[in-house]
Structure 1
């Protein structure tokens, strides 16, 4: 599968007659809300865990020096906490471009903090896209993040803002927090 998923996503869903859709954000969609929404609620999805395994050649890195951003990896029993946004379907015109580097819109069940559920969509970069980098030791991932920067800014900023946002949500994400610790440790070692 190509890393550019814009057309693929636009052909996946027919929003005819649909007034609003729930969208689950687990990465930069939590803190960089550059789209209009009708409602915003903390939520989680089951069976997925957040991992910095997707390459970013267009936002937080370059083709020569890709950054790393989060995607979701299937894991039975896992719970991924994030933010749900109820949006008008026309918002996907913007989001499909923003999330074009390997991310596909997939259906999922969202669980809100009050225990209620709703069906929604989530962008996930699957292993078969060209920008997928996969597993690496956390110290190596943190070094790659520290060195990468792209049109949307330093990759380190993405990691640190996500870690802060997850803490504000009360989300436990050992992978993200371990990368943050490696990054901060490397920064303090440089001074």
Structure 2
């Protein structure tokens, strides 16, 4: 699959008939909210782990020196990935499809809100699958942290992304060992 997924995402779901749509954010969408939303709620999805396995050639790195950003990888169905859900108007996806164009595809998921026991609701999440051209995959925590430490792109240093994500998750009360471990290694590299 190509690096640019804008056209693919427009074909995957026609959201024009909806008044609003729930969007699940698990990475930079948690702390960099550069889109209008109607409502915001803490939420989780089941069966996914957040991992720094996606290359960033357009925001936090370059084609010659890609950064690393998070994507979701399948996990046990009991595993919960915590994040933030935003109720948005469908036209917001015009901006989001461009922002998330580097290998991310829209998927429909069941969202579970932390402030409710009322089951789940359908939502959209962007996931960079292993078959996209920017996918970097697994590496040791040290290798990932080192790559993040040295990468920089049009949106700024890659380490800024990792640090802001770790801080946002901590402020929300979400414990993500993968993000926390990488952030610890980044702090050691700064010294």
Aligned-pair distance for 1:84? 0.2
Q: Classify the secondary structure of the residue corresponding to 1:105.
A: strand
2:117 matched to which residue of 1?
Answer: 115
Structure 2 CA distance for aligned equivalents of residues 32 and 16 of structure 1? 25
Aligned-pair distance for 1:182? 0.4
CA deviation profile, 1:54-84 (whole Å, cap 9, x unmatched)? 0000000001110000000000121100000
1:54 matched to which residue of 2?
Answer: 54
1:130 matched to which residue of 2?
Answer: 133
Name stretches of at least 5 consecutive residues in structure 2 with no aligned partner. Answer: none
Aligned-pair distance for 1:115? 2.6
Name stretches of at least 5 consecutive residues in structure 1 with no aligned partner. Answer: none
**What are the within-5 Å matches in structure 2 for residues 1-191 of structure 1?**
1-76=1-76, 77-113=78-114, 114-116=116-118, 117-188=120-191
Structure 1 CA distance for aligned equivalents of residues 89 and 142 of structure 2? 40
Structure 2 contact 16–90 (Cα < 8 Å) conserved: no
Structure 1 CA distance for aligned equivalents of residues 190 and 117 of structure 2? 40
Structure 1 CA distance for aligned equivalents of residues 176 and 24 of structure 2? 16
What is the aligned length?
A: 188
Structure 1 CA distance for aligned equivalents of residues 16 and 33 of structure 2? 25
Structure 1 CA distance for aligned equivalents of residues 24 and 16 of structure 2? 21
Following TM superposition, the consecutive aligned residue runs of length 4 or more in structure 1 with deviations greater than 3 angstroms are: none
CA deviation profile, 1:91-125 (whole Å, cap 9, x unmatched)? 00000000000000000000001233210000000
What's the Cα RMSD here?
0.7
Structure 2 contact 54–134 (Cα < 8 Å) conserved: yes
Structure 1 CA distance for aligned equivalents of residues 59 and 185 of structure 2? 22
Q: Classify the secondary structure of the residue corresponding to 1:100.
A: coil
CA deviation profile, 1:9-37 (whole Å, cap 9, x unmatched)? 01111123210000000000000000000
Structure 2 CA distance for aligned equivalents of residues 148 and 16 of structure 1? 37
